[in-house]
């Protein structure tokens, strides 16, 4: 097992400086700009109703032609493959954020409870097109991907402790921010071309911005051979943070929601990037 893969399996998150060369970074800029200029059914503000709202778009079923060169002709899918047990890599979905001005922290959460998938061969790539100092970067609880899954944040704009489900379904998400000294929190300053790769079960949060420091973030979600359908109380996709937007059921992730737990997570409409 490579050192990078071993670290990923241990901590659920790895940082790779200078992972993207100039050509790849230019393609990432193009992909971000395409999504920003072509809002999909998942586009809109996050934490609306409070100061510090910011913009996101995700899982646009029409994005792949604009992303194809970035996702097939660069090192990006190889980075994901280096963390997986098999050679196959598929795109789960893409996501962008645009933060401008004084934006609030993103509440601590895990991505996995919102999605109908589980397994070792899952990876989120987080990269910024603008420099980010460590104090304003995304933070992770190392090793938290090994469990448990917590009752996910409802992304309530006035109550960060609000959970999505009844407390009997999953354990309550700890108040990490109030007890930071108890947790192995890691984060990194980032420059364009750096990437963070993390398992979607890893607890993470943070990444506010300040006035005069706009931030463009691109996130790409991948899965490999050892990914399986997962039962979720919300039927596969949560009605929160734009995950369950109305695209007429076109995105393959929606088509996998509700498939029997333990079934291999596969659909012909997920773009296969490797081999």
Give the pLDDT confidence of 127-160 residue by residue, as tens digits.
Answer: 999 999 999 999 999 999 999 999 988 887 778 7
> Looking at the predicted structure, is the pLDDT value of residue 238 above 90?
no
Res 50: pLDDT? 57
Contact present, 273 and 69 (Cβ < 8 Å): no
DSSP state of 177: G
Condensed to tens digits (0 to 9), the pLDDT of residues 3-57 reads 999 999 999 999 999 999 999 999 999 999 999 999 999 888 775 555 556 789 9
Give the separation between CA 22 and CA 29, rounded to whole angstroms. Answer: 10
Q: For Cα atoms 259, 264, 266, give the angle at the middle one, nearest 5 degrees.
A: 80
For the chain, how big is the Rg over CA atoms in Å? 17
Q: Is 181 exposed, middle or buried (0-12, 13-18, 19+ CB in 10 A)?
A: exposed
Give the separation between CA 146 and CA 201, rounded to whole angstroms. Answer: 8
Confidence of residue 196 (pLDDT cuts 50, 70, 90): very high
> What percentage of the chain reaches a pLDDT higher than 90?
74
DSSP state of 172: P
The region that residue 207 occupies, defined by phi over 0 for left and psi between -120 and 50 for alpha, beta otherwise, is left
Give the separation between CA 155 and CA 151, rounded to whole angstroms. Answer: 12
Give the separation between CA 182 and CA 195, rounded to whole angstroms. Answer: 26
Q: Is 275 exposed, middle or buried (0-12, 13-18, 19+ CB in 10 A)?
A: exposed
Contact present, 233 and 222 (Cβ < 8 Å): no
For residue 236, what are its two tokens?
């596969």
Q: What average pLDDT does the segment 169-186 reach?
A: 94
DSSP state of 20: S
- Span 3-274 CATH architecture: Sandwich (2.60)
Task: Give every strand in the sheet of 138-141, ordered side by side.
Answer: 106-109, 204-206, 138-141, 185-187
Indicate the domain borders of the chain.
3-274
| Range among 4-18, 100-114, 242-256 with highest mean pLDDT value | 4-18
Q: Is 274 exposed, middle or buried (0-12, 13-18, 19+ CB in 10 A)?
A: middle
Q: For Cα atoms 48, 113, 217, give the angle at the middle one, nearest 5 degrees.
A: 50
Angle between helix axes 64-72 and 22-37 (nearest 10 degrees) is: 170
Model pTM greater than 0.85?
A: yes
Res 104: pLDDT? 81
């Amino acid at each position: 097992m490579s050192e990078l893969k071993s670290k990923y399996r241990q901590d659920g998150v790895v940082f790779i400086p200078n992972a993207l060369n100039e050509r790849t970074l230019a393609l990432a800029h193009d992909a971000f700009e395409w999504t920003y200029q072509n809002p999909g059914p998942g586009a809109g503000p996050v934490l609306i109703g409070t100061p510090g709202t910011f913009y996101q778009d995700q899982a646009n079923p029409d994005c792949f032609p604009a992303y194809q060169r970035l996702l097939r002709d660069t090192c990006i899918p190889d980075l994901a493959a280096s963390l997986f047990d098999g050679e196959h890599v598929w795109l789960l979905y893409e996501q962008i954020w645009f933060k401008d001005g004084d934006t609030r922290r993103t509440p601590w959460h895990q991505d996995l409870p919102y999605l109908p998938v589980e397994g070792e061969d899952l990876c989120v790539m987080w990269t910024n097109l603008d420099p980010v100092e460590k104090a304003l970067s995304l933070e992770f609880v190392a090793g938290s991907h090994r469990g448990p899954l917590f009752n996910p944040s409802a992304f309530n704009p006035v109550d960060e402790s609000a959970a999505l489900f009844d407390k009997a379904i999953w354990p309550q998400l700890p108040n990490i921010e109030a007890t930071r000294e108890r947790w192995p929190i890691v984060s990194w300053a980032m420059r364009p071309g750096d990437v963070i790769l993390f398992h979607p079960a890893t607890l993470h949060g943070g990444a506010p911005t300040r006035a005069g420091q706009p931030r463009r973030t691109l996130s790409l979600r991948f899965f490999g051979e050892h990914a399986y359908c997962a039962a979720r109380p919300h039927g596969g996709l949560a009605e929160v943070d734009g995950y369950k937007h109305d695209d007429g059921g076109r995105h393959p992730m929606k088509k996998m929601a509700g498939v029997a737990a333990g079934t291999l997570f596969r659909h012909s409409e997920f773009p296969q990037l490797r081999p």
